[in-house]
């Protein structure tokens, strides 16, 4: 249960409301928003407040700007897309503090919306500078502060933390409430069996959450580049694959903990047993399956002869770019019995598109898992799936109609992982308690 006050718990009628949002979305070189999922998820909060005759000022960041004249990181791009989604004019201020911001805010009437420029154009944002936070409040004329940017709520930045210290009510938006409620419920009281699919690159970034998942889940599998380091720990060659040799001791520690739990009770920790490799990451490259352990595919392809060593080992000049069909089928089979699935990380390099509409060469493993998640047409008993992580969400959004078939697609990567690991989120802790 969410323990902080939300916009439903306070009087907001006719108020000027300052809202922190996570509109850190990908944009083209011309500024067109490529994926507006995070923007769309905040619409219920904005609609509720506009229905209360509020005037709204939105603040947030886009990218990691090196200077305040980088046109690709201007918040103007999200203001344009937000205007299209709300089907109403959205004013834009060329700064988030000072006269440029104040002039725009002063033009706001009840029911109007303004977007201030990227807060990361100022060093005070990441420094959690209270003077910078106060300057935003003064420029906006805010009477209420609303935190609805879940994706960066794990950071102690000025627009999340310091901004709540100046006496105006500080409460959560509907998106923040939904994110925290859903993720907390899945971690604390999931319907079992609970299955976890974890990808990424560095074990050091996932060590806490992997430890947590081993404690609470019934089945955990590592995929993507994260799995490569576990393969190194098991003694396999990974060629030129993305991996972290320095993290091999961590991988061995996790494998030992998982093995101990498996001996003590019903638990599975699965590392891919076959992989798809290629010498380069492109749609034209030749791929092959490497059978790392059981050698089933290698035996079949070479029968009646014994397979050559290359059939079950990754060559020095090859990269692992997807899990193989045996591993995908094994994970998908287990998923058929799961009631809850936490999915953080695709199985392969899903952004590489096939030629002339052909199947994406390194997305087969991910698509097999997705089919298991959503079940057959008309099937009612597929698992409740919580999706987190930037690459995973991007893949889901690239598949028409997929998001609607999954339980909860989070807007946060690091924030969702921190919350799953049991950490307090600075952007949530500072909000008013609902007592």
Name residue 290's beta-bridge partners.
275
Residue 354 has pLDDT above 90, yes or no: no
pLDDT, greater one: 358 or 265: 265
**What is the CATH code for 16-175?**
3.40.50.1260
Q: Distance between CA atoms of 127 and 139, rounded to whole angstroms?
A: 19
Domain 182-420 CATH (choose: 3.40.50.1220, 3.40.50.1260, 3.30.70.420, 3.20.20.70): 3.40.50.1260
Q: Contact at 8 Å (CB) between 408 and 389?
A: no
Mean pLDDT of 193-211: 89
The three-class DSSP label of residue 356 is helix
Residue 254 has pLDDT above 80, yes or no: yes
Helices (H), 217-347: 224-233, 248-264, 296-302, 325-335
Asked if the bond preceding 193 is cis, omega within 30° of 0, the reply is: yes
Fold match flag (16-175 vs 182-420): yes
Q: Distance between CA atoms of 425 and 180, rounded to whole angstroms?
A: 10
Could you report the per-residue pLDDT of 272-291, keeping only the tens digit for each? Answer: 999 999 999 988 888 998 98
Provide the pLDDT for residue 404. Answer: 87
Q: Residue 113 corresponds to which tokens in the numbers above?
A: 């919306």
How many separate helices (H) and strands (E) can be counted in the chain?
A: 15, 15
Most confident of 63-72, 247-256, 398-407: 247-256
Q: Residue 201 corresponds to which tokens in the numbers above?
A: 């690159």
Q: Distance between CA atoms of 42 and 384, rounded to whole angstroms?
A: 22
Provide the pLDDT for residue 380. Answer: 59
pTM for this predicted structure: 0.90
Provide the pLDDT for residue 435. Answer: 81
- pLDDT exceeding 90 applies to what percent of the chain? 76
Instruction: List, by residue number, the catalytic residues.
Output: 38, 202, 390, 414
Residue 389 sits at the vertex; the CA angle it makes with 385 and 393, to the nearest 5 degrees, is: 65
List, edge to edge, every strand of the sheet that includes 274-278.
288-291, 274-278, 319-323
Q: Would you list the domain boundaries of the chain?
A: 16-175, 182-420
């Amino acid at each position: 249960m969410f323990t902080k006050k939300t916009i439903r718990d306070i009087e907001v009628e006719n108020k000027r409301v300052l809202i922190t949002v996570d509109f850190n979305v990908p944009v083209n070189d011309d500024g067109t928003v490529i994926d507006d999922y995070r923007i769309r998820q905040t619409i219920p909060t904005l609609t509720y407040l506009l229905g209360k005759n509020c005037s709204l000022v939105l603040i947030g960041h886009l990218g990691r700007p090196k200077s305040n004249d980088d046109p690709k990181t201007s918040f103007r791009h999200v203001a344009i897309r937000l205007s299209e989604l709300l089907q109403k004019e959205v004013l834009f201020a060329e700064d988030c503090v000072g006269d440029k911001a104040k002039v725009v805010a002063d033009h706001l009437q009840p029911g109007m919306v303004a977007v201030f420029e990227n807060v990361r154009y100022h060093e005070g944002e990441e420094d959690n500078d209270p003077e910078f936070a106060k300057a935003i409040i003064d420029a906006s004329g805010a009477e209420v502060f609303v935190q609805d940017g879940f994706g960066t709520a794990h950071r102690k930045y000025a627009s999340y933390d310091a901004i709540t210290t100046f006496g105006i009510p500080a409460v959560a938006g509907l998106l923040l409430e939904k994110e925290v409620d859903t993720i907390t419920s899945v971690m604390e009281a999931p319907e079992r069996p609970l299955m976890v699919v974890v990808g990424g690159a560095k074990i050091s970034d996932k060590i806490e959450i992997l430890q947590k998942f081993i404690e609470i889940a019934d089945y955990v599998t590592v995929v993507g580049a994260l799995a490569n380091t576990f393969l190194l720990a098991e003694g396999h060659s990974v060629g030129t694959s993305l991996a972290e040799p320095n993290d091999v001791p961590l991988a061995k520690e996790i494998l030992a903990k998982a093995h101990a739990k498996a001996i003590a009770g019903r638990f599975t920790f699965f590392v891919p047993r076959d992989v798809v490799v290629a010498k380069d990451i492109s749609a034209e490259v030749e791929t092959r399956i490497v059978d790392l352990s059981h050698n089933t595919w290698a035996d079949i392809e070479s029968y009646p002869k014994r397979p050559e060593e290359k059939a079950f080992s990754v060559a020095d000049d090859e990269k692992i770019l997807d899990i193989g069909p045996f591993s995908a089928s094994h994970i998908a089979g287990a998923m058929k019995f799961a009631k809850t699935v936490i999915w953080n990380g695709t199985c392969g390099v899903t952004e590489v598109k096939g030629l002339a509409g052909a199947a994406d060469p390194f997305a087969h493993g991910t698509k097999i898992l997705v089919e298991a998640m959503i079940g057959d047409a008309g099937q009612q008993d597929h698992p409740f799936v919580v999706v987190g992580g930037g690459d995973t969400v991007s893949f889901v959004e690239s598949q028409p109609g997929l998001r609607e078939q999954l339980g909860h697609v989070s807007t946060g990567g690091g924030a969702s992982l921190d919350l799953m690991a049991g950490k307090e989120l600075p952007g949530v802790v500072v909000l008013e308690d609902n007592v």
